[in-house]
Amino acid sequence: MNVRKTNIYDLDLDQLGVFLSDMQEPAYRARQIWQGLYVHNWQAANEFTNLPKDLRQRLDQTIDFQPLIPEEKLSSSDRQTEKILFRLTDGKAIETVLMAYEERRTLCISTQAGCAMGCVFCATGQMGFRRHLTSGEIVAQVMYYARQLKDRGEKVTNVVMMGMGEPFHNYDSTLAAIDRLNHKYGYNFGARRFTISTVGLVPMIERFTKEKRQINLAISLHAADDELRSSMLPVNRKYPIDVLLKACKAYVETTGRRITFEWALIRDVNDSPETARKLAGRLSGLLCHVNVIPLNPTQKYPGQATTRERAEAFRGVLEKAGIPCTVRIRRGIDIQAGCGQLAEGTQNPSDINFSK
Ligand code: SF4
């Protein structure tokens, strides 16, 4: 019988202790394994030289130390963006992107296979929902790159939950993954280095607000009026802009933290100075920052990216109104770095057809 092994990253330190006590092992072994995983970045039972050989062998039978199978890796022509397609143990596919910019090594990770939110311009949304990732599958994406970067003498500096999936639709696993990566005896990755990006699930924003965490929050806004936003982001029909911004205001007031709004600039759709003025009016008085980025085109959405000039003009209107704004440069276009673009159509192993 083929017994499914336990994903080691699914266990927090206490759960690992229980797992080991079931194997008649002393409690201190949990800390040793934890250290091997998160400090030394070991990814196979035989690497755990801090454990007796017979325990390593037994762990090898029951624990999966590499729950993500890297299947294809693409690098952008400028070598600054790298995208990987991981195969999960049940055959589903997810993507993780590494972006290098000066000293920063930012990981964009997935929280679900596919996504239920259906944003029309997004390849993952076009694909539909497959399943939630476990906390361990979220953690494993970071630890995979922790190891890769360590081998190059580098470190992960930031983690953004902006890959496949809506993190607040998989709230518990997303936050459990952050807690695990943040653990002081483990990877000890600072909470302020994480950013959760949500399309605007208001009840979860409210829950997150109550928890008063140090994690950064970003909202995918993309439109300043409900008619346009609902046509692009179906979630807006349930949580319209007024309701969403009320939750954002409560977040800022409760936590004292600045909130970020993401805005994909689509030519002749949401990139006019008039739209920028409308947005400035909506955000007036809110401690926030707006990131605008020309749209990353996808196969099933006809919208095109705005021009650099129109992006700058949009930024100019916002800044004049006192709203800080950054024009982000599109990265990794030549490797389809937008979330879901690589996994689209590759959910079954037989479907894999990499064009790059
Ligand atoms: S943009 Fe984000 S929330 Fe919307 S469909 Fe894509 S992955 Fe889901």
Convert the pLDDT of each residue in 119-141 to its tens digit: 999 989 888 999 999 999 999 99
Q: Is there a catalytic annotation at residue 115? A: no
Residue bearing tokens 């007036």: 284
Q: Identify the residue whose C-alpha is closest to ligand 1 atom 4.
A: 119
Of 82, 115, 339, 344, the catalytic one is 339
What pLDDT is attached to residue 344? Answer: 55
Whether the pLDDT of residue 351 is over 90: the answer is no
Distance, CA 165 to ligand 1 centroid (Å)? 6
Given the CA of residue 126, which atom of ligand 1 is nearest to it?
5
Mean of all residue pLDDT scores within the chain: 92
User: Nearest-5° angle of CA 106, CA 314, CA 80?
Assistant: 25
Contact call for residues 67 and 79 (beta carbons, < 8 A) = no
Which band of pLDDT confidence, cut at 50, 70 and 90, is reported for residue 354? Answer: very low
Given the CA of residue 166, which atom of ligand 1 is nearest to it?
3
Which band of pLDDT confidence, cut at 50, 70 and 90, is reported for residue 333? Answer: low
Contact call for residues 166 and 204 (beta carbons, < 8 A) = no
Whether the pLDDT of residue 79 is over 90: the answer is no
What pLDDT is attached to residue 350? Answer: 28
Q: Of 137, 73, 87, which is closest to residue 110 (Cα–Cα)?
A: 137
Please tell me the distance from the alpha carbon of residue 74 to that of residue 95, in angstroms, as a whole number. 11
Given the CA of residue 339, which atom of ligand 1 is nearest to it?
7
Of 25, 95, 166, 344, the catalytic one is 95
Whether the pLDDT of residue 347 is over 60: the answer is no
Q: Is the CB of 162 under 6 A from ligand 1?
A: no
Q: Which of 50-64, 210-224, 285-299, 323-337 has the lowest mean pLDDT?
A: 323-337
Whether the pLDDT of residue 353 is over 50: the answer is no
pLDDT in tens, 244-282: 999 999 999 999 999 999 999 999 999 999 999 999 999
Separation of CA 60 from chain center:
29
What pLDDT is attached to residue 243? Answer: 98
Q: Is the CB of 164 under 6 A from ligand 1?
A: yes
pLDDT in tens, 30-42: 999 999 999 999 9
Q: Is there a catalytic annotation at residue 339? A: yes
Whether the pLDDT of residue 172 is over 80: the answer is yes
Whether the pLDDT of residue 1 is over 80: the answer is no
Pocket test for ligand 1, best of 117, 130, 262, 342 (most atoms within 8 A of CB): 117
Whether the pLDDT of residue 203 is over 90: the answer is yes
Higher-confidence position of 333 and 277: 277
What pLDDT is attached to residue 196? Answer: 97
Pocket test for ligand 1, best of 110, 112, 119 (most atoms within 8 A of CB): 119
